[in-house]
């Protein structure tokens, strides 16, 4: 029983995942990249369920980056319809499990139908408190910081903020979803050791775990592996080990 390796009292509150490797998974099997994305949806299903079972409070999934808009149109279209399909297929279970769905990113760039589905999921699950599932779609970390700066400058112009009073906390209030806690654990699948413009502001002190497993093969047992690894670490936040332990 893999979950028994875990300390149930030290489950990361917020887990963020860069779901990578769908294309390679498919290519390795002589399939089209799109087949990889379809299979990847099974992993989303499994991991949302697993995170809920393990007691994770927030799960943020990087589903589509701003840079991903530059992929072939056919692939982009398929990814958008898969997201819509996921919401249609999973909303009943998500609802039963008390999961609240939200999204972050430049959502105005999404096709109307995709945006409508995300809004539908958000409205339907607004009062759920068991877990929060955040989709980062059309998302870029630098863009989020720029968008925050733009809103802040507008408020400064009309005298709503005083530049001299600005600090990290008041700046963060302009991010897409300021009430989200910073991720405790960031998982990237499929071996690449980079953050690819994900949650740049929020991962300042996040623990990073890179799994070699391709996203379409990623299941609860791999999530448990990541959390077990996380639980063996000492988060020092700039302090000495001695300070942290006392």
Q: How far is the CB of 186 from ligand IPE (least distance, A)?
A: 12
Q: Would you give the binding string for ligand IPE spanning residues 181-200, x where CB under 6 A is met?
A: ---------x-x-x-x----
Asked if 20 is an active-site residue, the reply is yes
Return the residues of window 49-78 that contact ligand IPE according to CB under 6 A: 62-65, 67-68
Q: Would you give the binding string for Mg ion spanning residues 8-47, x where CB under 5 A is met?
A: ------------x---------------------------
- Tokens 């990541």 correspond to 226
Output 85-93 pairs: Cβ under 8 A, ≥24 positions apart: 85/41, 86/41, 86/44, 86/45, 87/117, 87/118, 87/120, 87/121, 88/117, 90/45, 90/48, 91/120, 91/121, 91/124, 91/125, 93/49
Asked if 197 is an active-site residue, the reply is no
- Catalytic annotation, pick one of 7, 22, 68, 77: 68
Nearer to Mg ion, 101 or 199 (CB): 199
Helix axes 73-96, 33-54, angle to 10 degrees: 20
Handedness of CA 23, 27, 29, 34 (dihedral sign): positive
Binding partner of residue 24 among ligand IPE, Mg ion, none, CB cut-off 5 to 8 Å per kind: ligand IPE
Cα–Cα distance for residue pair 228/2, rounded to 1 Å: 10
Return the residues of window 3-22 that contact ligand IPE according to CB under 6 A: 18-22
Binding partner of residue 86 among ligand IPE, Mg ion, none, CB cut-off 5 to 8 Å per kind: none
Residues engaged in binding Mg ion (CB under 5 A): 20
């Amino acid at each position: 029983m893999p979950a028994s390796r875990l300390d149930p009292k030290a489950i990361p509150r917020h887990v963020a995942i860069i779901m990578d490797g769908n294309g390679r998974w498919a290519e390795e099997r002589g399939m089209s990249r799109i087949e990889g994305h379809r299979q990847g949806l099974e992993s989303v299903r499994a991991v949302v369920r697993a995170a809920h079972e393990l007691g994770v409070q927030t799960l943020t999934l990087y589903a589509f980056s701003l840079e991903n808009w530059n992929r072939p149109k056919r692939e982009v279209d398929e990814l958008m319809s898969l997201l819509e399909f996921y919401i249609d297929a999973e909303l009943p279970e998500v609802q039963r499990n008390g999961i609240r769905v939200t999204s972050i990113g430049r959502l105005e760039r999404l096709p109307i139908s995709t945006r409508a589905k995300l809004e539908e999921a958000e409205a339907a699950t607004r009062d759920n408190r068991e877990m929060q599932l955040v989709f980062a779609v059309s998302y870029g970390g630098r863009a989020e910081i720029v968008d925050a700066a733009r809103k802040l400058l507008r408020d400064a112009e009309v005298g709503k903020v005083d530049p001299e009073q600005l600090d990290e906390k008041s700046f963060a209030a302009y991010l897409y979803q300021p009430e989200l806690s910073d991720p405790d654990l960031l998982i990237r699948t499929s071996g690449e050791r980079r953050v690819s413009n994900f949650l740049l502001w929020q991962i300042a002190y996040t623990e990073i775990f890179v799994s070699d497993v391709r996203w379409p093969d990623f299941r609860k047992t791999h999530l448990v592996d990541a959390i077990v690894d996380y639980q063996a670490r000492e988060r020092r936040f700039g302090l000495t080990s001695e300070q942290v332990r006392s």
